[in-house]
Structure 1
Amino acid sequence: MLSKTRNILKSRGYRIFEKPYELNIVAYRSKHVRSNRFDDEIHVFYKNELDKWVYHVFPATTDPGQYWLDNPMHPQGTAFLKKGQYVNSYVIGLHRGIYEAIVQVEDVTVIRDYD
């Protein structure tokens, strides 16, 4: 899976981080947009101190929950992150000031669900 992911990133001109413990985080979306389901995957890979690649896959969702689709916070609809690479847009921080998570610190491009 590492070579497939790296080839996809290279074909799109995305940066691949190769210094020890610099994380490459890639979301693979399922073919269907379904709220309230962990049907996507987050792939995290990096080189360790021995210069060996380490690769992890986590179940995840990249889709907003049904509540936010039905009750958007923004008048133009609920935001979906547009495909792309967002270098230095996320860091480990506190989500809602409560628990550690990957949180957004720079602008990203979103697409709005208008209905």
Structure 2
Amino acid sequence: MFFTPNLDQITGVMKAKSYKLYQGKKKGERGLNLVGIRRKTSSPDKFDDTIAIFFLIPGAADIMYFSITTDPSPHYLRHPVNASGTAILQEGQYVDTHQVAMHSPPSGNKHLAVCQRLGKVTVFRDNNKDGKLNFVNPQSGMFGINIHKGPLNGDWDTKNPNYSAGCQVFADADDFKLFLDRCKKEADDVKNAFTYTLLNENDF
């Protein structure tokens, strides 16, 4: 089960951290907020994290929750694709770092996603290849930490748990379509630039 704090709880944490919250009060003003929440006991082999997307438009505030993983898969923890180690996104707010663009994974399954193309993020580099999450060796840069779709049925395929080498990955492809539709509309109506905020369950 993934963690679903209410809208007031999420905005309260973000305000306490002095993070940006998009209001969308005026025509053409950004309104969509993208907030990931990592479980306090992180598991690289489960879709047990959350992404909440919400608007704060007066009289029309709404929120949707989806199950994701914010952690790299066990396969990539044991077999890093980067010589410095496997990327684990550090919690924080990354302002105007992402846009709707084409995600091109090693599998060749290209699809539109919300991709880190506009600014740097900070990741930990786990390089001991033990298959467990080690939050060490922070590094900032352009690493392609994208938000993209995962399996078709929402189940973690334990025979081939290779969905993430550091990206934020949806547990269900149908959920991802709902998410992407909202992001595409925001990109078309306002601007193709998104801020991604990653919190931790311990923040609540």
TM-score with structure 1 length normalisation?
0.90
Runs of at least 4 residues off by over 2 Å: none
Local SS of the residue matching 2:76: helix
| Aligned with residue 65 of structure 2, among 52, 57, 64 | 57
Aligned residues: 114
Please tell me the root mean square deviation across aligned C-alpha atoms, in Å.
1.7
Give the % identical residues. 32
Q: CA deviation at 1:31?
A: 1.7
The CA distance in 2 between the partners of 1:51 and 1:88, in whole Å, is 26
Q: CA deviation at 1:100?
A: 1.3
Structure 2 segments unaligned to the other structure (5+ residues) = 1-5, 129-204
More helix by percentage: 2
Q: CA deviation at 1:51?
A: 4.4
- In the alignment, structure 1 residue 86 sits paired with structure 2 residue 98: no
What residue in structure 1 maps to residue 103 of structure 2? 95
TM-score with structure 2 length normalisation?
0.52
Per-residue CA shift, 1:31-65, capped at 9, x if unaligned? 222123110000111145x7411101000000001
The CA distance in 2 between the partners of 1:47 and 1:14, in whole Å, is 14
Quick one: higher RCO (CA 8 Å, sep 6+), 1 or 2? 2
Local SS of the residue matching 2:94: coil
